[in-house]
Chain A
Amino acid sequence: MSYVGEIVHGIRTLLTGMAVTGKYFFRARKEIITQQYPDNRDQLRMFERFRGEVVMPHNENNEHRCTGCQACEIACPNGSIEIIWDRKVDEKTGKKKKYIVKHIYHLSMCTMCNLCIIACPTDAIKMAQNFENSVYDRSYLTKVLNKPGSKLMDGIDE
Chain B
Amino acid sequence: MYDFTPMVEGINRWLHSMMPDAAATFAGWVLVALVYLALFAVMGLVLVLVERKVAAFFQLRLGPNRVGPWGLLQTAADAIKLLLKEPVGTKRADMFLYNLAPFLLIIGAMMALSVIPFAPGLQAFDINIGVFFIAAVSSVGVLGVLIAGWASNNKYSLLGAMRSGAQIISYELSMSLAILTMVLLAGSLQVSQIIEQQRDYWFIFKGHVPAWIAFMIFVIAGTAETNRTPFDLPEAESELGAGFHTEYSGMKFAFFFLSEFVNMFIISAVAVILFFGGWMPLHLDGWTGFNQVMDFIPPIFWFLIKMSVMLFLLMWFRWTFPRLRIDQLLKLEWKYLLPMNLVNLLLMAFIVLMGWHL
Residues in A lying within 8 Å of B, measured CB to CB:
7, 14, 17-18, 20-22, 24-25, 28, 31-34, 36
Contact = CB atoms under 8 A, between A and B. Distances in A.
Contact of B320 (A18, A28, A32): A18
Given A7-B336, A18-B316, A18-B320, A34 B58 contact: no
B320 A34 contact: no
Chain A interface, >50% SS class:
helix
A31 B58 contact: no
Contact of A24 (B58, B317, B321): B58
A103 B307 CA distance: 67
Nearest to A18: B320
Given A7-B336, A18-B316, A25 B321 contact: no
A36 B58 CA distance: 18
B70 to A, nearest CB: 13
B356 interface: no
Contacts of B57: 24-25, 28
Contacts of A7: 336, 340
Given A14-B321, A17-B321, A28-B57, A22 B316 contact: yes
Contact of A34 (B62, B317, B321): B62
Interface string B44-74: 0000000000101111111000000000000
Interface residues of B, number: 15
Contacts of B61: 32-34
B97 to A, nearest CB: 38
Given A7-B336, A18-B316, A21-B319, 10 more contacts: A14-B321, A17-B320, A18-B317, A20-B320, A21-B316, A24-B60, A25-B54, A25-B58, A32-B62, A33-B61
B62 A36 contact: yes
A33 B60 contact: yes
Contacts of B60: 24, 28, 31-34
Contacts of A31: 60
Contacts of B340: 7
A21 B62 contact: no
A22 B58 CA distance: 7
Contacts of B58: 21, 24-25, 28
Contacts of B59: 24
A6 to B, nearest CB: 9
B311 to A, nearest CB: 14
A82 B321 CA distance: 55
Interface string B304-346: 0000000000001101110000000000000010001000000
A34 B56 CA distance: 10
Contacts of A21: 58, 316, 319-320
Contacts of B56: 28
27 contacts: A7-B336, A7-B340, A14-B320, A17-B320, A18-B316, A20-B320, A21-B58, A21-B316, A21-B319, A21-B320, A22-B316, A24-B58, A24-B59, A24-B60, A25-B54, A25-B58, A25-B316, A28-B57, A28-B58, A28-B60, A31-B60, A32-B61, A32-B62, A33-B60, A34-B60, A34-B61, A34-B62
